[in-house]
Chains A and B, each alone.
Chain A
């Protein structure tokens, strides 16, 4: 055993030549720059810079029309105070919360897990067709998906859902008017379940078969195996999926806009629709930017909570 006394760091750097490891690092820098540079530049240009500009705008009364458009002024936290005391904005946050909870966290996650478990069963026949059917909504463009569901939920008797309910004597119903939020939640579940299935399927394949086998030998039933063996082992991917789906669902705009435009009576005015209305329809870029920043903070808090809960490496 040899004891080594380390010299002070400054002395080491001053006297010793760079270690082979450090020289290696220095040599790889240009390579790393070439690989990451273009992506980093694009992110800086199209994400970081607009985000910083949006942050700046949120402290101004910038408008796109009217005399105020010529001379925007710094207004401090006025936009934030306005939004946090505005019933419409708070209501839109509540609707966003419901939309995320029911469609992404509960709907997509549960159904995605069920689909992944079913596809991992050796006895299941027609896995290809089943997988393709679940995947189809993900590959369909958003506009096409919206128009398809607009047709399914159409208020006249030729609407697909109304045709189905008429078989049981039901009268034609305007589903997007009567149950608007539930309708858009179902559509979003339909669209997002495939991504959940793919992630969970990959995670389930990593679970050692011996552990499941051992639990079964010990007398555990299927639900107990899932609850006490499988789920703890795939906790990381599950929380990672929850993180991703929460972020993407908070930002959903097109699907809801094409189906209901935030109506009726603001019942599906989720935060993204509210921001669009404020910033672009009513030309109040300052207020729209402040609303975006508030939403960004909420998503960041949620994201950090997921990461802490799961200890997912991101």
Chain B
């Protein structure tokens, strides 16, 4: 019996000693940037264009680090998914602590993940990084979340406008001048519809478009007429703000007049029949679209290329919805690199994020994705500098509208999708859809997030 106890005591001592050694080892070598030994970091990418870019950029980063005496290897995890699928999957990985060291994700997901505590604050790294000073001031401000911290390093952005088929409108004798108001635009859309017999406009709406209904469809229109629907300081959504009803009424008018392709919008992948089939074929003439349309959607290497794109397609800004408003472009924080709070290799991960958002590596990504630059020092860096549309979008960022939002954007996105779906299915007018939206959003957000 005594012997057993002695053995147990020895084993326990060894376990405790081993644990303490491990702890002291991990706290002693606080740097995980590859200067104290080889480090392998992982990066998750969901868009094929960006996957192709990263494959080209990773060797350059590894050799740049080697020159600095740091041994960092990067493992690329390719997972081409839709935004909704990606969100579902990465959420589980964050919770289980299995997420890669860098996750590239859209702005629409970042507030929710940051608020849940899944993402590491990056402020201490950015303060020491010279590249941070080159970010445009509006983005440096917008990246600060409700708790005063920054959780993502944005690498691309864009300006949303209405892309239209200049060639077809010109052939049909329809004006291609910038419509000043929605009334003007609707009159022009009716004119197109009378000639073609088909709905001429696509604006994301309904449940099938997922988060895009809010970020690419509803929010740009709402923000242009009423930027006070969210207060960053209080973190509350004002559901009584007048822009909500006005925007729902606009959607209702577009559906009632047969200007939106309702059946296509209810397709499980609504962007396919609209943006990938009908717009390139000229059967749908106007599309709400971000800068990436020039490359990612309709560029030579895009999802559905349009030959002679710059001759056939041009853009209008969003027209004014109410009197006193002016036409505008809508911008957002686009995509950004994030580092999970549970990552054990944050230093090395941040070095890679900084590398990807600097100079030629960033210029190459912007060129292939068709994005505007969030930095002020890229206009002369090839190949970005050779893209006039992207340079123009970067200039337009300074005058574009952007409303920063925070926790609850997921729930708002869901409530907007459900309410616009009611409009698409003919079950609700604009006012009825707004009423349904307020009820749903209030239920989903809970009392803490509603003004």
Contacts and interface: CB of A to CB of B under 8 A. Distances in A.
Interface of A: 61, 63-70, 82, 88, 174, 176-177, 259-266, 280-284
Given A66-B410, A280-B91, A264 B117 contact: no
A70 B443 contact: no
Nearest to B418: A88
Interface residues of B, number: 33
Nearest to A174: B263
A177 B425 CA distance: 12
Given A280-B88, A282-B410, A261 B115 contact: no
16 contacts: A64-B95, A66-B115, A66-B116, A66-B407, A66-B408, A66-B411, A174-B263, A260-B268, A264-B208, A264-B267, A264-B268, A265-B424, A266-B425, A280-B88, A281-B87, A282-B414
Interface string B200-215: 0000001110100000
A250 to B, nearest CB: 22
B84 interface: yes
B117 A265 contact: no
B314 interface: no
Given A65-B91, A263-B207, A264-B267, A282 B421 contact: no
B116 A64 contact: yes
Nearest to A261: B268
Contact of B112 (A65, A82, A261, A264): A65
Interface of B: 84, 87-88, 91, 95, 109, 111-113, 115-117, 206-208, 210, 263, 266-268, 407-408, 410-411, 414, 418, 421, 424-425, 443-444, 446, 448
Given A70-B115, A177-B267, 14 more contacts: A63-B116, A64-B95, A65-B113, A66-B112, A66-B408, A67-B407, A67-B448, A260-B268, A261-B268, A264-B267, A265-B421, A265-B425, A280-B88, A282-B414
B425 A68 contact: no
A68 B446 contact: yes
A61 B207 contact: no
A174 B270 CA distance: 13
Nearest to A281: B84
Considering the complex of A and B, which 8 residue pairs feature the smallest CB-CB distances, nearest first?
A264-B266, A65-B112, A69-B116, A265-B425, A261-B268, A67-B115, A280-B88, A66-B407
B414 A263 contact: no
A281 B87 CA distance: 7
Given A70-B117, A177-B263, A284-B444, A266 B207 contact: yes
A69 B115 contact: yes
**B interface, over-half SS:** helix
Given A64-B91, A65-B112, A70-B116, A265 B266 contact: yes
A282 B443 CA distance: 13
Contacts of B407: 66-67
A65 B412 CA distance: 13
Contact of B115 (A65, A264, A265, A266): A65
A265 B112 contact: no
A69 B414 contact: no
B208 A67 contact: no
A260 B112 CA distance: 27
B207 A262 contact: yes
B410 A264 contact: no
B36 to A, nearest CB: 33
B107 to A, nearest CB: 14
B208 A263 contact: yes
A67 B116 contact: yes
Given A66-B410, A265-B424, A281-B88, A82 B95 contact: no
B112 A283 contact: yes
Contacts of A262: 207
B93 to A, nearest CB: 12
Contacts of A65: 91, 109, 112-113, 115-116, 410
Contacts of A61: 446
Contacts of B88: 280-281
Given A66-B407, A263-B207, A284-B444, A177 B112 contact: no
A49 B115 CA distance: 29
B309 to A, nearest CB: 25
B207 A283 contact: no
Contacts of A282: 410-411, 414, 444
B229 to A, nearest CB: 18
Contacts of B208: 261, 263-264
Nearest to B235: A67
A263 B115 contact: no
A86 B197 CA distance: 38
A269 B294 CA distance: 35
Nearest to A87: B436
Nearest to A263: B208
B4 to A, nearest CB: 27
Nearest to A176: B268
A118 B65 CA distance: 73
A261 B210 CA distance: 11
B209 to A, nearest CB: 10
Most chain A beta carbons < 10 A, residue from B116, B210, B421: B116
Contacts of A266: 207, 421, 425
Given A64-B95, A177-B266, A265 B410 contact: no
B307 to A, nearest CB: 22
Contacts of B207: 262-263, 265-266
A293 B414 CA distance: 23
Contacts of A88: 418
Most chain B beta carbons < 10 A, residue from A63, A70, A263: A263
B431 to A, nearest CB: 17
B111 to A, nearest CB: 8
A65 B446 CA distance: 14
A283 B92 CA distance: 10
Contacts of B91: 64-65, 280, 283
Given A67-B116, A68-B446, A265 B206 contact: yes
Nearest to B116: A69
A260 B266 CA distance: 10
Nearest to A259: B268
A247 B410 CA distance: 32
Most chain B beta carbons < 10 A, residue from A66, A69, A261, A284: A66
Contacts of B116: 63-67, 69-70
